[in-house]
Structure 1
C-alpha cells in the first residue's frame, strides 16, 4: 500500500520529466508577425521628404510605434488594402491609438491621389518619400516576397521588430499590436 501511494505521488513528476526531456515539446510563438532578429535600428542616413516637401531624418519619428508599408505613389489594390488594414488596426486600439503612427514610405515623389489623401489624413498616416535603396537596405523582405508585400512594425526606440506576412489577417495584426501596447509602456 505504501509503494502504491509513493507511485501515485511521484507519477506527475515522472510524467513531466518524460514530457520535457524525452518527448521534446515543439516550442512555438505567440505572435502572428515574424520577429526580426537581430535588431535593425532606423539608419541615421535614411532621410525622408514629408508631405510639405521638407527633408527630415526618419529617425525623428522615434517615440511612437510605427506601422510601415513601402510602395510607389501609384498605390495599387494591394497597397490600398494594406493602408486600410493599418488604419483599422490603429483605430481598434481605442485609447492607445495615439501611440501608433501609420507610415507609407513612397519610393517616388509623384503626387498621391486625392482619394487616398482624404481616406488616410495626416497625422494618422504619414506619406513620406524615401530612397528605395536605403529602404531596401533596412527593411528585409520575406522568402519569396517583395518589400512591397509586407507591413512592418517599428518600436518607439527606433528598432524594426516585426514583419507581417503577405496578404495579412488584420485581426491577427490587431492582436499583436494590442498585446505590444498593453505590455509596453514606451511610446
Structure 2
C-alpha cells in the first residue's frame, strides 16, 4: 500500500510545479505579446502628413451655405462623402488656383476610389469667381462651389497659428467631421498618401455617392 505521507508530498510537489509554471507564464506574457506585435502585427509609427484635428469638429447644422446663384444649400447635403475643401475668395489668387488644381489632380489619381471624394470650394467673401476659373474646375466631376460668410465658416474650420484659412486645404469625413488640416504649400505625393490611407481605413463602411 502507498504511504499517505509520500502521496501528500507528491501532490504538494506537483502543485508547486504548476504554480511555478503559472508565475513564469504571467511573467513571460508581456514578452510574448511584444514579440507577437513586433514580428507579426508590425505596427507602424503614425506618419500622417496632414495635421489631425482632435477632437474632430462637426459640420454646423446651421452653416449658411448658398450656391453662386443664391440658392440656399443645407449643410447636411455635404455629408456622405469624403471632402477635400479649398477656402478662397472669389478673386482666386495664385494660391487658390494652385489648390484648385491640386484638388482636381488628386481626385483623378485615386482611380476607382475617386468616386468617394468630393471637391468643395468655399467662398467666404460673397464674390463671384472669374468664368475662366469656373471653366478650369468643371471637367470631370465639377467642384461644389458654395458661398459662406467668413464669420460663420470660422466656427467650423480654422487655420494654423499665424496662417489664414486660404493657406490650407481641409479634409472632412463622410459624417461631416473636419478631421485633418493640410500644411501650406502641400506636397502632392504625401497628401495623396494621407487620402489613400483614409479611404482604405474607411472602406468597410464608406461607399461612393451620397
Where on the TM-score scale, by shorter chain, does this alignment land: which range?
Answer: 0.7 to 0.9
Q: Within 1, Cα distance between the matches of 2:90 and 2:158?
A: 21
Whose strand fraction is larger, Structure 1's or Structure 2's?
Answer: 1
Q: Within 2, Cα distance between the matches of 1:114 and 1:140?
A: 28
- Which ranges of structure 2 fall in alignment gaps of 5 or more residues? 1-30, 35-43
SS at match of 2:83: strand
Pick from 140, 145, 151: which aligns with 2:169? Answer: 151
User: TM-score if structure 1 supplies the norm length?
Assistant: 0.82
Alignment of 1:87-126 (within 5 A): 87-121=104-138, 123-126=141-144
Could you say which residue in structure 1 is the equivalent of 2:184?
A: 166
Q: Within 2, Cα distance between the matches of 1:70 and 1:154?
A: 13
Pick from 90, 97, 103: which aligns with 1:73? Answer: 90
| Structure having the higher Rg | 2
Shift of 1:157: 0.7
Alignment of 1:49-88 (within 5 A): 49-88=66-105
Q: Within 1, Cα distance between the matches of 2:69 and 2:199?
A: 30
Matched, 1:141 2:198: no
> 1:55-85 deviations in whole A, cap 9, x for unaligned?
0122211001011121110000011001111
User: TM-score if structure 2 supplies the norm length?
Assistant: 0.73
Q: Within 2, Cα distance between the matches of 1:106 and 1:140?
A: 14
Q: Within 2, Cα distance between the matches of 1:68 and 1:98?
A: 15
Shift of 1:28: 5.0
> Higher mean Cα deviation, 148-157 or 52-61?
52-61
> Where do 4+ consecutive residues of structure 1 move more than 3 Å?
none
Could you say which residue in structure 2 is the equivalent of 1:130?
A: 148
Alignment of 1:173-184 (within 5 A): 173-184=191-202
Could you say which residue in structure 1 is the equivalent of 2:61?
A: 44
- Which ranges of structure 1 fall in alignment gaps of 5 or more residues? 1-12, 17-26
Q: Within 2, Cα distance between the matches of 1:160 and 1:71?
A: 17
Q: Within 2, Cα distance between the matches of 1:28 and 1:146?
A: 30
* Structure 1 residues 92 and 59: CA distance shift in structure 2, 3 A: same
Q: Within 2, Cα distance between the matches of 1:59 and 1:162?
A: 19
Shift of 1:110: 2.0
Q: Within 1, Cα distance between the matches of 2:86 and 2:186?
A: 12
